[in-house]
Chain A
Amino acid sequence: MSDTINVTLEVWRQPGAKAQGRFERYEMNGVSTHASFLEMLDGLNEKLINEGKEPIAFEHDCREGICGSCGFVINGQAHGPDRGTTVCQLHMRRFKSGTHLVLEPWRAKAFPVVRDLMVDRTSFDKIQAAGGYNGVNVGNAPDANAILVGKEAAGEAFDAAACIGCGACVAACKNASAMLFTSAKVGHFAMLPQGQPERYRRVARMFDEMEAQGFGACSWTQECEAACPKGISVKWISRGKRDYLKAKLVKDSGQSSDDGFAG
């Protein structure tokens, strides 16, 4: 087996947020199968720079699958063909020589394209800022076991907290819904004692903000879970909805966005 392959790339190029975009083709020959997908793009960008052309803009930071910066769609699959993998952790050995790959940015009204494969995810920050925190001053870092949390609750909370906010769930959803992201953020707090005082206000505010940001609703196609590099379960969506409906219909808090959320 040879250690290099040839691939054809068809990449969405868009010089700016307001500019018209289009696909452009690039032939990449002799790509090492040991290279990561982003390293392959680095190679292409070197080539483009040497030719005096604009390199392809894409986001990345840690390149080890933990920061949530990277992400685009490869042949219709968010982060590429591997499950539980960010695109920075995808490797060229995954592809056969001669493969044709179409690279597109996340497509969502709430994620406007900044440039090429790079989108603006401020809308996620807005959702988070609406309630994805504890509104109490906790002082210095407390002793780890000052508040006892059961093993199962801690495990569940951790599963939800594994969300790196990359946006693949939105990208993969036919409705560009942010339900998985928002529900994971809500659910992570809802599992822990520290999250209880603001539990219902939090979910009401974050869900309402999600809608205000222009994300779609959940049609339960479960694409998000399959696309999530952290394998976050759609069960969080059910739990989030349950808390939201409770907040709105049962609890005496959560109806309005200015009901005194601390912080």
Chain B
Amino acid sequence: MSWLVKTFTSHTGRKLLAGITGLGLVLFLVMHLIGNLQLFSSSSAFNEYAHSLHSGFLIVLADVGLLIAFPLHIGMVVWLAIDNKKARGAQGYKVANTKQKRNLAAVLASKSTLYGGLVLLFFVAIHVWHFRLQHESIANGTFGGGVGPGDLKSAVIATLSKPHWGALYAIGSLLTGWHLFHGIQAAFRSFGAYHPRYTPIIVKGGGALATIIGLGFTSMPIWVLLR
């Protein structure tokens, strides 16, 4: 057993866990985005989607999965970040610079993953409180703001139309995209995956998926604010 613990607590093992949980979270975000985009439909599709989601098994699976993956992801990356900070030593550099010729966005994204992630953590906490923990009050009509029982769509619109919440959701969504812009390709690197033909596809595809996720989620608070 101890070999297993040693393996997954090593730097490479921790990165492996961060990568697996990270990609698990990405999978969740893709489903979450597809579901949420029904907000744009004029019919009651969004409410029906939400209702069937909450009466089914999928939400339990998602809850349990997220409760495992999210803390594990954060735990591993924060633990790594502590080791990484220590590795520089007490005296840092006076001048910061680079010799990289990759595009600036890719370089910056790779260096800001932790900081973006920490802001994300704060955003996710607020988000879960808004729509997951208040699900009961939305269901039984005590949410307020003229939101009828079970009318999740109106509850979402009521929340996002407050400019400070709308702005927070837009920023949180953009940050998610920024985080994944580096994160998706990094996860494959953490698995030790390298191939001269597939790696460029993963890098480009990961960037594209991150952009879709980031802009996809951002479109909702923007749409509500502009309505």
Identify the closest chain B residue to A109 (Cβ).
B89
Q: Which of A174-219 contact B (CB under 8 A)?
A: 174-177, 207-208, 211, 214-219
A255 at the interface (CB under 8 A from B): yes
The winner among A73, A172, A214, A221 for most chain B CB atoms within 10 A is A221
Against B, the Cβ 8 Å flags (1 = close, 0 = not) of A209-245 are 0010011111111110011000000010111111111
Inter-chain CA distance A243–B111, complex, in Å, is 26
| A15 at interface, CB cutoff 8 A | no
**Could you tell me the dominant secondary structure of chain B's interface residues?**
helix
* Nearest A-chain residue to B77, judged by Cβ: A219
Collect the chain B residues with CB atoms within 8 Å of residue A55's CB: none
Contact for A215 among B87, B99, B191, CB less than 8 A: B87
Does A127 touch B at the CB level, under 8 Å?
no
Is B98 touching A220 in the complex (CB atoms < 8 A)?
A: no
Please, which residues of chain A bring their CB within 8 A of the CB of B99? Answer: 77-78, 81, 83, 172, 223, 226-227
A256 interface contact, C-beta 8 A: yes
In the bound complex, how far is the Cα of B14 from the Cα of A59, in angstroms?
36
Q: Which of A207, A219, A226, A227 has the most CB of B within 10 A?
A: A219
Q: A40-48, A100-108, A158-166: which lies at the B interface?
A: A100-108
Q: Are the CB atoms of B15 and A217 closer together than 8 Å?
A: yes
B95 CB–A CB distance under 8 Å: yes
Q: Which residues of B contact A83 (CB under 8 A)?
A: 99, 101
Interface size on B, residues (CB 8 A): 46
- Docked Cα-Cα span, A239 to B86, in Å, equals 26
Of the four ranges (under 10, 10 to 19, 20 to 34, 35 or more), the interface on chain A belongs to 35 or more
Interface residues of B in 48-96 (CB under 8 A from A): 80, 83-96
A75 to B99, CA, bound (A): 11
Q: Is A16 part of the binding interface, using a Cβ–Cβ cutoff of 8 Å? A: no
Residues of B within 8 A of A (CB): 3, 6-7, 10-16, 80, 83-102, 107, 110-111, 113, 182, 185-186, 189-194, 196, 199
A238-B193, A255-B3 known, 14 other contacts, Cβ within 8 Å: A75-B97, A76-B93, A104-B93, A107-B89, A108-B88, A216-B85, A219-B84, A219-B110, A220-B182, A226-B100, A226-B101, A238-B192, A242-B191, A242-B192
